[in-house]
Amino acid sequence: MIMSKKHNFGAGPCILPQEVFKQAAEAVLDYNGLSILEVSHRSADFVRDMEETRNLVKKALNVPEGYTVLFLQGGASLGFLITAMNMCRDNKRAAYIDTGAWSTKAIKEGKNAGLEIDVVGSSEDKNFNYIPKNLNLNGSYDYLHFTSNNTIFGTQFKDFPAFDGPLVCDMSSDIFSRPINVADFDLIYAGAQKNLGPAGATLYIVKEELIGKSPLSIPTYLDLNTHFKKDSMFNTPPVFSVYTSMLNLKHLIANGGVDAIAAKNRAKADLLYGEIDTNPLFEGTAAKEDRSDMNVTFTLTNEALKDEFDQMWNDAGIVGLKGHRSVGGYRASMYNALEIDSVKVLTELMQEFATKKA
């Protein structure tokens, strides 16, 4: 078996545990005598595994009673619309915190769903390099929406916003990376392709009593009630993405769950941010107190060194380090499955570079 020998710092779809890749590949060849790719989603085997996957999500996050777990398709991009349509109430007005690209898209779809959207906090004034903390919650809002982690700008909510009403969160890029209190939320949604599984599945964790309460006329697929009533099997689900998510959740839980992975993620983040803060050739772009443990954004203090540094990390087998064009520089995404050894390869290389240039 050939395993990845590269250090994958890509922003997503991203690295998953090597053991999960191995098990997923095996299921493509043999899943109870068939390939997982040819198995009916109505077969007893897959119905059991879909149920198991939903239960493992609950187990991993300590999801309390009264919440359901659903797998849909379309990513957070369709989720922006689905959440707005389903969380709309009589005010037809919602509060959104704008922390950059993904929040901005969510705001646009909230409006496309027919809601009036108030941006109650924004960090646009500083190219989204921090998390807005003082919110202007001066209206009657159906819900408050925010993006827990911002892959492009490298910021992350450490404390979640206080709001006296339904709280909706796009948790695509940091769900399962740290403990959360699901009871604080009314709807969490997340594309699978960071810490859950392969692209193609989208997770929804929803307070059941909120389902089916929107005054909007919602098309069938976009109505969470459709999927809730059918145990997430309204139509053919993305079978392989769900199955591989199950493998990954089992791996997560067997290795200590979100508490253990949060400690590991913290150690990786401390290592890299420590290097950035002490190495004269680099500087971080996000406000220190809002720095993401998942996506570390940084730049060279001297842009003239770019080609040389790029050559170094390319030669070291590092991939996916190029920053997003809206921030420039570098972005080291360190999702759950990235080993600290890969981070060490990067930090040692940064040190070596500094020594060379001293």
Catalytic residue numbers, as ranges: 102, 170, 194
Query: In the sheet that 295-300 helps form, which strands lie side by side, from edge to edge?
Result: 282-284, 295-300, 330-333
At its nearest, how many Å lie between a second copy and the CB of residue 83?
Answer: 12
Q: Which of 35, 62, 181, 314 binds a second copy (CB under 8 A)?
A: 35
Q: Where in 251-280 is the site for a second copy (CB under 8 A)?
A: none
Q: Which stretch binds a second copy (CB under 8 A): 70-78, 141-149, 152-160, 278-286?
A: 70-78
Q: Where in 142-201 is the site for a second copy (CB under 8 A)?
A: 191, 193, 197-201
At its nearest, how many Å lie between a second copy and the CB of residue 233?
Answer: 11
Does the footprint of a second copy cover residue 236 (CB under 8 A)? yes
- At 247, list the tokens: 């493998």
Does the footprint of a second copy cover residue 315 (CB under 8 A)? no
Nearer to a second copy, 75 or 100 (CB): 75
Nearer to a second copy, 122 or 226 (CB): 226
Nearer to a second copy, 80 or 204 (CB): 80
Location of structure tokens 């078996």: 1
| Residue 252 to residues 69, 178, 324, 339, Cα–Cα distance (Å) | 18, 11, 29, 14
Task: For residue 296, give the amino acid letter.
Answer: V
Does the footprint of a second copy cover residue 77 (CB under 8 A)? yes
Question: Residues 170-201, buried b or exposed e (16+ Cβ, 10 A)?
Answer: bbbbbbbbbebebeebbbbbbbbbbbbbbebb
Q: Which of 15, 188, 206, 300 binds a second copy (CB under 8 A)?
A: 15
Task: For residue 17, give the amino acid letter.
Answer: P
Can you list the alpha helix ranges (DSSP code H) found in 201-330? 224-229, 239-254, 257-278, 306-315
At its nearest, how many Å lie between a second copy and the CB of residue 235?
Answer: 4
Residue 258: helix, strand or coil by DSSP?
helix
At its nearest, how many Å lie between a second copy and the CB of residue 138?
Answer: 28
Q: Which stretch binds a second copy (CB under 8 A): 49-57, 76-84, 143-151, 346-354?
A: 76-84
Cα–Cα distance measured from residue 240 to residue 38, given in angstroms and rounded to the nearest whole number: 10
Q: Which stretch binds a second copy (CB under 8 A): 25-33, 138-146, 174-182, 296-304?
A: 25-33
At its nearest, how many Å lie between a second copy and the CB of residue 22?
Answer: 7
At its nearest, how many Å lie between a second copy and the CB of residue 351?
Answer: 25
At its nearest, how many Å lie between a second copy and the CB of residue 150?
Answer: 16
Task: Tell me if 62 sits within 8 A of 109, measured CB to CB.
Answer: no
Does the footprint of a second copy cover residue 329 (CB under 8 A)? no
Does the footprint of a second copy cover residue 39 (CB under 8 A)? yes
Strand blocks (E) in the chain: 7-8, 67-72, 93-98, 116-122, 144-147, 149-150, 155-156, 167-170, 187-191, 202-207, 282-284, 295-300, 318-319, 330-333
Q: Which stretch binds a second copy (CB under 8 A): 92-100, 233-241, 304-312, 350-358?
A: 233-241
Closest CA to 199 of 245, 231, 154: 245
Supply the DSSP symbol for 161. P
Residues within the interface to a second copy (CB under 8 A): 1-6, 8, 10-16, 21-22, 24-26, 28-30, 33-35, 37-41, 43, 72-78, 80-81, 105, 108-109, 112-113, 191, 193, 197-201, 217, 219-222, 234-241, 244, 319-320
